Amino acid sequence: MSGQSTERGAFASNLGFILAAAGSAVGLGNIWKFPYITGVYGGGAFVLVYLGCILLVGLPLMYAELVIGNRSGLSAVGAFKKLTAHAPRSRVLSALAGGLAVLSGFLILSFYSVVAGWAIHFLFVSMGLIAGKGASEATFTAVAHSGAWSSLWHTVFMIGTAGVVAAGVHRGIEAACKVLMPLLFGIVLLLLAYVILETDGVGASARFLFAPDFSKLSGEAVLEALGHSFFTLSLGMGAMVTYGSYLSEDRAIVRDGVAVAVLDTVLALAAGLVIFAVVFAQGKEPAAGPGLVFVTLPDLFATMPFGAAVASAFFFMLVFAAWSSAISLLEVVAAWLVDSLGVPRVKATLGASVAIWAIGLLCAYGVGAPGMGESFFDLFDNLTTKYTLPVGGLLVALIAGWVLLPNDREAGFRAFKLPFFATFWLWTIRIVTPLLVSLVILHGLGVIG
């Protein structure tokens, strides 16, 4: 543990840490992306593969990131460097892992914040504070295709995110997540109760999600599930390394990591259950794609009893989830400035936020990336989900499995006195996880799938 934890900040309790890490994990990935890809890839069989990916890729990487942060007491860049100092030949690996982590945080937040902004717009429309354009398709186009609206909400969202991160680990991140996460869980329960009591789509929704039909499964679906398994758990860019560094040493990080993965999975499934109950109750198709939450759903809400209230609750949930995730993305960049360059937290947060906000404007205005044939929005999305996150995850797996000293590597398992789990984890992270993550990278490069 480094001796500087007082200036760096720390989580005050295990519960605070679990809520913050779950806050990072549960985000647009769970409520917007998981339901729509599940719809596109046909339901049950895809869900089963996704659960397998969480077990074989997500959980092992989650522990690897937490233990690296926890043992080094440093955020991404410094953590990899410190724990691999005994192995000079791995210097390139750890420098790359640290650099990619900061780069990913930067790029992901710049477009994530724009999507979160659209959710704020829909929240205001559903509360009647802004006039919608009639059909939700028109409302969505009006905000997503308007640089002015998109950048307004992007600005609001970045200010909210920066405010929390500037206030510090305990007074900012932990305090915010202690409020946001219980609210989010509460809203999910209310929405579940609503679809059970007020619609007759829950049975069909549960069958769609949980009765696997393997004839619908494609190689493409498996790769999508793999890629999503670490985006949804906030892995591959040092977010969990950074959060792990704010925990005092030898806490039960194995148990905490499992708790975070379980909360994340339960939330994704619950969001899917609610969304498909509404879709099936009105005889609609589940495969609407990315527009499922912003286009299909609001129209369906509008025809339902208490529709405006239900829609508001839903978009509150989406905004809260995105906010607590964005906090962790900004924290990776800010913590790097604090730990590696010695910048005071408030200045670091401000500097990182302004830079990310400025880059995000390119996404908000839908500016085309020169010579790339796509917008900056798509460029950053593709660059991170296809390349920087999988490569980051691969590097973490290799460093944790092959480079770390056993004393560091197994620190989290010691409290359990169950050597079997440590061995199982070790061989998974050494062989299975890198192989599976490599498939995602090869798919991104167009070599397979």
Short-list 234, 274, 253, CA closest to 38:
274
CB-wise, 74 or 389, nearer to ligand TRP? 389
CB-wise, 166 or 321, nearer to ligand TRP? 321
CB-wise, 195 or 389, nearer to ligand TRP? 389
CB-wise, 32 or 194, nearer to ligand TRP? 32
Owner of token pair 């460093």: 399
Q: Is 38 in the site for ligand TRP (CB under 6 A)?
A: no
CB-wise, 221 or 235, nearer to ligand TRP? 235
Q: Which of 25, 57, 217, 222 binds ligand TRP (CB under 6 A)?
A: 25
CB-wise, 304 or 397, nearer to ligand TRP? 397
353-357's contacts with Cβ under 8 Å and 24+ in sequence apart are 353/158, 353/161, 353/162, 353/165, 355/106, 356/106, 356/109, 356/110, 356/113, 356/158, 356/330, 357/110, 357/113, 357/154, 357/155, 357/158
Closest approach, Cβ 271 to ligand TRP, in A, equals: 11
Q: Which of 8, 11, 20, 24 binds ligand TRP (CB under 6 A)?
A: 24
Question: What are the distances in angstroms from CA 184 to CA 180, 276, 308, 388?
Answer: 6, 19, 18, 29
Q: Is 231 in the site for ligand TRP (CB under 6 A)?
A: yes
Q: Is 180 in the site for ligand TRP (CB under 6 A)?
A: no
The answer to whether the CB of 396 falls within 8 A of the CB of 65 is: yes
Q: Which of 16, 23, 27, 42 binds ligand TRP (CB under 6 A)?
A: 27
Rounded CA separation 354/187 (Å):
32
Stretch that binds ligand TRP, among 23-31, 66-74, 334-342, 353-361 (CB under 6 A): 23-31
DSSP string of 369-426, one letter each residue: PTTTSSBHHHHHHHIIIIIIHHHHHHHHHHIIIIIS-HHHHTGGGGGGT-HHHHHHHH
Question: What are the distances in angstroms from CA 351 to CA 8, 269, 332?
Answer: 17, 37, 13
Stretch that binds ligand TRP, among 19-27, 181-189, 410-418, 432-440 (CB under 6 A): 19-27
The site map against ligand TRP for 365-394 (x = CB under 6 A) is: ------------------------x-----
Closest approach, Cβ 232 to ligand TRP, in A, equals: 4
Q: Is 165 in the site for ligand TRP (CB under 6 A)?
A: no
Binding residues for ligand TRP, how many (CB under 6 A)? 17
Owner of token pair 């000293």: 405
Stretch that binds ligand TRP, among 47-55, 169-177, 322-330, 406-414 (CB under 6 A): 322-330
Binding site for ligand TRP (CB under 6 A): 24-25, 27-30, 108, 231-232, 234, 236-237, 239, 325, 328-329, 389
